[in-house]
Amino acid sequence: MDFYVLSSTFLYITFFVYLIATAFFGMTLGNNRDENKKSKATKLAMTFTIIGFASHLTAYIFRWIEAGHIPVSNMFEYITFFGLMLVLCFIVIHFVYGIPALGLIALPIAIVIIGYGSMFPQEVSPLVPSLQSHWLYIHVTLVGLAQAILAISFIAGLLFLIVKIDQTVRNKETTWLEIIIYAVLSTVGFIILSTGFGAMDYEATFIKESDGYQYEVEYEMLALFQPSNSDLMTEDRFNSGIEAPSWMQGIDAGKKLNTLTLSLLAGLLLYGLARLTLKGKRIGAYLQTKFGKINPDVVDDVMYRSIAIGFPLFTLGGLIFAAIWAQEAWGRFWGWDPKEVWALITWLFYAVFLHLRLTRGWHGKKSAWLAVVGFVIIMFNLIVINLVIAGLHSYAS
Amino acid sequence: MSDQSIRCECGHLNKEGTILCEACGKPIEGNQHIDGNDEKHVLEMRYEGSARRSQTYKRTFVDKTWAFFSSVKVGVWLIVITVVLSALGTVYPQEQFKNSPLPSSQFYAEEYGFTGQIFYQLGFHNMYSSWWYITLVALIGVSIIIASIDRYVPLRRALNNQKTKRHEVFVKRQRLVSKDNQLNEDDVNKLRENLKSRRYKVYEDDGHIMAEKNRFSRWGAYVNHIGLIIILLAAIFRMFEVMHVDDYVWVREGETRVVPSTNQEYYVENTGFVYEEYDPETQEQFSRALEDVEEPVPKNFQTNAVIYRTTEETLPGQEPELEEVTRGEIRLNQPVTFDGYALYQAGTQLEAEYDSMSFDVQLNDEVLGEFTFYSDEAPPEFHLEESDIMVSVDDWYPELEFTENGPSSFSKFPRNPGLIFSVENPDTGDSERFFYLQEDIIPLSEDNELVMNVTGIDRRSASGLTVKKDNTLPLFGLGAGIFMIGVVQGLYWYHRRVWIHPKGEGIYHIGIHTNKNWYGMKQELEKITEDTNVQEFEDQQELK
């Protein structure tokens, strides 16, 4: 039996089941529906969420069996694990607090995260010697869990902002909320583009000259920007002739810039379509009317509680266990590698969050904005540090 | 100072700057602005209205410095500045990771252009060991210490001095209150019982009831700050060279070398180096991934090592006498440790050196003899016993290179050995010369009648080992442990108090304080007031 194929199949199923669950969560909204209908929809939504989680977990376990080691050793595996933990946290939170509106944010975010992770190479890779340690199981999984719990605070914060921001006039807060929504849509855009071009087997090869050497750069998407100092080799491929700025470092800089720009454009298209459908209304304003009345005190509590749990776990997994592993592998527990620095930044940031909240009374909207920034830092550490700023922890090729 | 102290109407003598009487909680006139109680109804209970030095004395330079560092706002700003700078430091690689032979003064400008130049000139390429970064962290340390003392000392005094009997105003101005309850004796007994069953300590005085639990949670913040201070102290100790060893040694297969930085006390022998790669044939699950990569994926770097210790003082030049201490397989993630030292697998020169080369000498298809040249011994001549002829080594170039002056050796390491032999021809008695290079033999004269062949080559790997010893590790561990205890203590338990205040004639006010998690407190209150006539509690400070 090919566990690899099984695992991928289950991941596909997961994806769709989560979509169904999201749709049911959508039905819990609206002011006109009566409580009975709402609670029925919630029950169905949670049932599908749990089925989806079971399928997700199955996919994960099959992959584990196939690889023979815990699948947290590259971007695809780690992001899948992060998504798994995020849904788990949401399920737990739901049974404690029971806020269905949270599901309507948590699941789409989880879907986008899993979708994003699936765009990375999915082959089961062997463990290089530096990863052959039981600390891989402890350090990476604990960081994944802690980050997922911290992400719940972002989700609660986002819900809080959607409900509480003054949408009567355009202001700084409404603009930033739209930017967050736009960022999520751009990620969706990236997933659509990657999947679409992938289905077409799109390939355009450029030969790039750098320091007297020639490199082949393969584009899997339409080339809006070609690498600096390069020529298109594949025939019949669109080429704008615009080169990426030469000051951008790295052989793949042009490709990365191209993907980013295309994703942002796709996001803009999706965002524009959404605004058109809403007759120009801000998406945040539309969501506010839909999300109706929720108890802000409870959402605020979810936000704080998830940081109160996530912060110590992150300290343990992301700093203490990380340091112990580093000491065991390299004989130095701290080395100012970019990933380490950003783990410290994450830790300091949430320390600031807790100080402002516990000693200066930053509750509500202020806290919610901080929770959003915290999540941005986590995503930055996961994506930008791995893909752009290479270091010891750089997983992705 | 004592002449400035304030006597409350309850009789308790409070220190200057006290906001709420330590004993009865009555707001002390003239000090309410300090905690902002003059502007809102709910009393600020964060530090129990105790007299903090930073809020009381603001005259002298010392007062002002103390007040500055005790401010959480200042602490947060220091952290924010550190966060921003730390982030900027990751924009380009730090000097230690730059991986280029260029000096930093050129590297950053050439590699990253104008912004790289700025990065370098601001000193960001060495950010984390720069004096200003260290100063910033030190300031955070000072802030942690002063802020903690400024709060901990008066808070502890206030909590120790609190009386069961509180002033009515104090109770009514708590965040959660239920006023003017008509309660009979059964209700009060039930409340008392419920509180006890929920693990509150219940105190009574003159009909007043105070129930309290988990006061220790209030110390969590100070405990975790102690942990952080210990970590910062450990970092300071680590700046001194004596506290840690950080060295590197290359050991060839078969070689025994002194472990540096151990006062010539320890030796390490490399009895063999193992290098393995993943094989897509035997490990099918990886075949998809292994197809994609051009280079094979390494599976194992391993040095089989034996550690020795000198048995007595060795005089310079004297061969040390060694006894085995331990042996083991050093892999990534698996150092070998001895006496606090640890050896880590850090580098490899895979089969980079020639351990030995074997040759035979023939004349008219008849083998005259064989010999093996060991690089480390490099003997000047060989005697081929079968035929009783001499092979002499005229020249030995461990790392051969050709310069204007002919062949020479670039180093003493046999990475590209070259040899010039003279062999006497038993028939003619002439000496015939051969050049060994690039694993091949070149006769140096066309008239050579003898034939020399390379019959075997034995390469060897060298293993790079880092030598580490760190005396500060236990201190870092202690600090981290205390920090975690403090965080858990402060975040997962809540200091909760319930005051039941009789107004007479069966009328009671009930005031509630919890240091955090009001949501949980409200849920617990439902359990506490179960089966009693206590009216619903009013949250006087709900998020609107």
Which residues sit opposite B433 in a β-bridge?
B422
- Once rounded to an integer, what is the mean pLDDT over residues B359-386? 88
Q: How far apart are CA A68 and CA A126, in angstroms?
A: 9
* pLDDT (mean) for A385-393: 63
Q: Check pLDDT > 50 for residue B483.
A: yes
* pLDDT exceeds 50 at position A185: yes
Confidence of residue A396 (pLDDT cuts 50, 70, 90): very low
Give chain B's radius of gyration (CA, Å): 40
Mean pLDDT of B438-465: 89
At B314 the pLDDT is 66
HSE-up (13 A, CA, CB side) for residue B337 = 10
Q: Hey, what are A51's tokens?
A: 């089925």
Preferred mutation among B519, B524, B541, B542 to probe A, highest tally of A CBs within 10 A: B519
pLDDT score recorded for residue A32: 63
pLDDT tens for each residue of B266-284: 999 999 999 998 888 888 7
- Span B98-116, average pLDDT: 86
**Which chain B residues have a beta carbon less than 8 Å from that of A7?**
none
A68, A135, A349 ranked by CB distance to B83: nearest: A349
Whether residue A284 contacts residue A177, with contact meaning beta carbons closer than 8 Å, is answered with yes
pLDDT confidence of residue A225: 85
- Range 61-80 of A in CB contact (< 8 A) with B: 66-68
What's the gap in Å between the CA of B265 and the closest CA on chain A?
Answer: 21
The pLDDT of residue B2 is: 44
Q: Which two tokens stand for residue A246?
A: 């030469």
Q: Is pLDDT above 80 for A292?
A: no
Task: Choose from A79-83, A332-336, B249-253, B385-389 the range with maximum mean pLDDT.
Answer: A79-83
Nearest-neighbour CA in chain B from A319: distance (Å) = 9
Tell me which chain A residue has its CA closest to the CA of residue B140. Answer: A348
| Mean pLDDT confidence for B121-150 | 94
Sign of the alpha-carbon torsion through B2, B3, B5, B11: positive
Query: Which among B37-51, B193-207, B309-323 has the top mean pLDDT?
Result: B193-207
Mean per-residue pLDDT over chain A, rounded: 89
Q: Please spell the DSSP secondary structure of A311-368, one letter per residue.
A: HHHHIIIIIIHHHHHHHHHHS-S----HHHHHHHHHHHHHHHHHHHHHHH---HHHHH
- Chain A nearest-CA distance from B363, in A, is 50
Average pLDDT over residues B93-112: 86
pLDDT at B1 over 60: no
Task: Please give the residue that has the higher pLDDT: either B93 or A235.
Answer: B93
Tokens (6 digits) for B151: 């709060």
Distances (CA, A) of B436 to A380, B263, B380, B394, B440: 57, 41, 15, 11, 6
Contacts of A133 in chain B (CB under 8 A): 333
CB atoms within 10 A of CB B186: 11
Show which of residues 279-318 on chain A sit within 8 Å of chain B, judged by CB atoms. Answer: 296-298, 300-301, 305, 308, 311-312, 315-316
Instruction: Give the model's pLDDT for residue B3.
Output: 53
Between residues A305 and A31, the one the model is more confident about: A305
Which spans in chain A are helix H?
3-27, 35-67, 75-97, 100-117, 134-135, 141-164, 172-199, 253-277, 283-291, 296-314, 321-330, 338-360, 364-379, 385-387
* Percent above pLDDT 90 for chain A: 55
Mean pLDDT, rounded, for A142-150: 97
Q: CB distance from A216 to chain B under 8 Å?
A: no
pLDDT at A394: 47
Q: How far is B515 from B497, CA to CA, in rounded Å?
A: 9
Look at A347-361, A377-391, B400-414, B444-458 and tell me which has the smallest mean pLDDT: A377-391
Percent with pLDDT over 70 in chain A: 96
- Quick: pLDDT tens for A8-55: 999 999 999 999 999 999 888 766 667 777 788 899 999 999 999 999
Domain definitions of chain A by residue range: 3-167+291-327, 172-281
Q: Is the pLDDT of residue B544 over 50?
A: no
CATH code of B175-214+494-539, in short, is: 3.30.310.180
CB A235 within 8 A of CB A225: no
Rounded to the nearest integer, the mean pLDDT of chain B is: 90
Assign A123 a pLDDT band (cuts: 50, 70, 90). confident
- In chain B, the largest separation of any two C-alpha atoms, in whole Å, equals 136
Over residues B20-47, the mean pLDDT reads 90
Residue A150 CA: distances (Å) to CA of A78, A143, A145, A157, A346 = 16, 10, 9, 11, 10
What type of residue is A157? G
| pLDDT at res. B295 | 80
- Report the residue from B278, B483, B488 with minimal CB separation from A126: B278
Choose the weakest-confidence range: A98-112, A211-225, B158-172.
Answer: A211-225
Which letter does DSSP use for residue A126 in this model?
A: P
Q: Quick one: average pLDDT of B234-239?
A: 92
The terminus-to-terminus CA distance of chain A in angstroms comes to 29
Region B367-391: what's the mean pLDDT? 87
Whether residue B223 is predicted with pLDDT greater than 70 in this model: the reply is yes
Q: What is the pLDDT of residue A383?
A: 85
Distance CA A124, CA A106 (A): 28
List the single residue in B89, B466, B491 with the smallest CB-CB distance to A331: B466
Confidence grade of residue B402 (pLDDT, cut at 50, 70, 90): confident
Cα–Cα distance between A343 and B90 in angstroms, integer?
12
Q: Per-residue confidence at B542, pLDDT binned at 50, 70, 90?
A: low
What whole-number distance in Å separates Cα of residue B493 and Cα of residue A224? 56
pLDDT of B297-336, one tens digit each? 889 999 999 999 988 776 767 778 889 999 999 998 999 9
**Which tokens sit at B410?**
């670039």
Q: To the nearest whole angstrom, how far is the Cα of B180 from the nearest Cα of chain A? A: 26
Higher confidence at residue B67 or residue B429? Answer: B67
The mean pLDDT value for A203-223 works out to 84
**B410 — pLDDT class (breaks 50, 70, 90):** confident
